[in-house]
Amino acid sequence: MHDALPSTSAITELRAHSILHVFSDATRWRTGLLTDAEVAALTPPPPGGDVTLDELDRRLLARLAIDARLGPVSWPRKPRSPPCAGGSTGSRRRDASAPTRTSTSRRWA
DSSP bridge partners of 24: none
**How far apart are the C-alpha atoms of 102 and 47, rounded to whole Å?**
4
Q: What is the pTM of this model?
A: 0.31
Domain span at residue 76 reads 55-108
Q: How many structural domains are present in the chain? A: 1
In a domain, 16, yes or no: no
In a domain, 81, yes or no: yes
**Per-position pLDDT tens, the chain of length 109:** 556 666 667 777 778 877 787 777 777 777 788 899 998 999 888 888 788 889 988 888 888 888 888 776 666 555 454 455 555 555 555 555 555 555 444 444 3
Please give, one letter per residue, the 3-state secondary structure of the chain. Answer: CCCCHHHCCCCCCCCCCCCCCCCCCHHHCCCCCCCHHHHHHHCCCCCECCCCCCHHHHHHHHHHHHCCCCCCCCHHHCCCCCCCCCCCHHHHHHHHHCHHHEHHHHHHC
